[in-house]
Chain A
Amino acid sequence: MTEPSPLRRAATQRPLLEYKHVCKTFGAFTALDDISINIYPGEVVCFIGPSGSGKSTLLRGTNGLDPFDGGEVFFDGQILPRKQSEVRKVRQRMGMVFQNFELFPHKTALQNVAIGPITVLNKDRVEAEQQAMALLAKVGLADKADNYPVNLSGGQQQRVAIARALAMQPEVLLFDEPTSALDPETIGEVLSVMKALADEGRTMVIVTHEMSFARRVADWVIVFERGKVLEEGPPEQIFEAPKVERTKEFLSHLGWA
C-alpha cells in the first residue's frame, strides 16, 4: 500500500508531471486558463469537475495529442517536445486509456495488447504475445484473448485497453473518463482493475465522474471549473471539508454530502 500522498508532497521530491501556466482555447472558448499543477511519482490523482471544465483537455495535452496553446509540461524533468518525432518518445513512456476504448477492431484482444511492443518497441512477436497474455490474465480476460473487440462487452473492451496501455510499461497512466461510455453493470469491473493498479503504486492521472471511486482510491484530487483549478487537496479534505464554496455546490449537485 502506498503512503498517503500529502506526505510525499511534503517531501522534496521532483514531480513526475509538472504543468506550468498551461493555456488552451477553442475559438472564443477558453478551455484551459493558466493551469499550474504537479503530479508526483506513485500518486493517484483524480481530476473532477463539471463537463467542459477543462479536465479532459488537460489530460489530452499531456501526451501531445491535443497540444496546448501556451505554457509548458515537464515530464520527468524534461519539457514536452513539440516535434512529432520527439513527442513519440515521450508517448511511449505514457499509457493512455480512452473514453471510447478505441481498441483496434481488426485485431484480436491479444493482438491489441501486443501491437504496441511489436511495432513501437520492435519486440519479438512471440515474446510480446506472451507478455500480452500475462497482462490479459491480470485484467481477468485470459479466456478472451482470441476474441475480436466486437465480441466483447464494453467493460471487457476497456480492460483490454488498459492491458494495451500497460504493455508499453508506462511510467504514468492517463485515464480519460474510462467509465463514462460503459453500462452501469460493467463499470465496477473496470474500476476494480484500476484500483488494483493503484495498489501497485503506479502513477495514475484519472479524469472521472465516479466520485466514490475518487474518494476511495485517489491520493490527491484536483477540482476544475471553467478552465481553472478550483481547489486541490487530499480526498478527505475535498469531499469532507472543501474550502471553496463552488466545490461544495458541485459535489452537492452530484448528491454528495
Chain B
Amino acid sequence: MPDFDISPILESWQFLATGIGVTILLSILSMAASVLFGTVLGIARVYGSRLLQLVITFYVDTMRSIPVLVVIVWIYFAVPILTGINFPPFWSALIAITIHITASVVEIVRAGIESIREGQCRAALALGMSWPQVILNIVLPQAAIRMLPAIGSVLSVTIKDTAIASVIAVPEFMKRAETVASQSYQPMEVFTFAIFVYFLLLFPTTRTIDFIYRRVAHLGRS
C-alpha cells in the first residue's frame, strides 16, 4: 500500500473549495430551471394539443437517447458556430444540463399528474372549479408530493452531471480535482478525496428528500 500524502489537497484547499461552490451553484441553477421548464412542459404534455404532445414526446425521447456529454459538448462548441455568440463554459453547461434534465422532469410530472385519480378532478369540477383551478389546486399539489422521490433522484443525477461539465473546463469541483491531481502527480490522494466530497454532497441530499417524502407522503394519497 503506497503512502497517502494529502499535502496537495491542503495546499490547494481554496482552489478546490471554490470548485465545490461552483458545483453546488451549477447544480442548484440547473435543477431550478429544469423543474420550472419541466413542470410547464409536463402540464402541456398531458393537457396540451395533440401536436404539442407529439413535439414534447419527441424532445423527451431524444434526450433519453443522447448522452449528456454529447449535449454539453454540442452546446459549447457548435452553438457559437451557428449563432456567432460565445458563451462562457459555465453558461453552456447550465443550458446543456437544463435541456437534458428538463426531459426527465417532464416525464416525472406527466406520471405524477396521470397517477391522480380521475375522481379527484370530477370532485373539484363538481364544486364549480375551472380546469386551470383544478390543475393548480387539486392535481399539482398531490402530484408534487408523489413526485418527490423521483425528483430527489433527478437532483442526484443533476449533481453527478455537473461533473461531466469538466470536459468543457467549467471550473467546478471535478475539473479542479483533475487539475490538482495532474499538477501534484498525486492522483490517488486527490481523486479519493473527490470521492469523499461527492459522496458527502450526494448522500445527505438524497436522504433528506427521502426523509421529507416520508413525512408528507400521506398528503399525496387519495
Q: Do chains A and B touch in the complex (CB under 8 A)?
A: no
Residues of chain A touching chain B, judged by Cβ–Cβ distance below 8 Å, are none
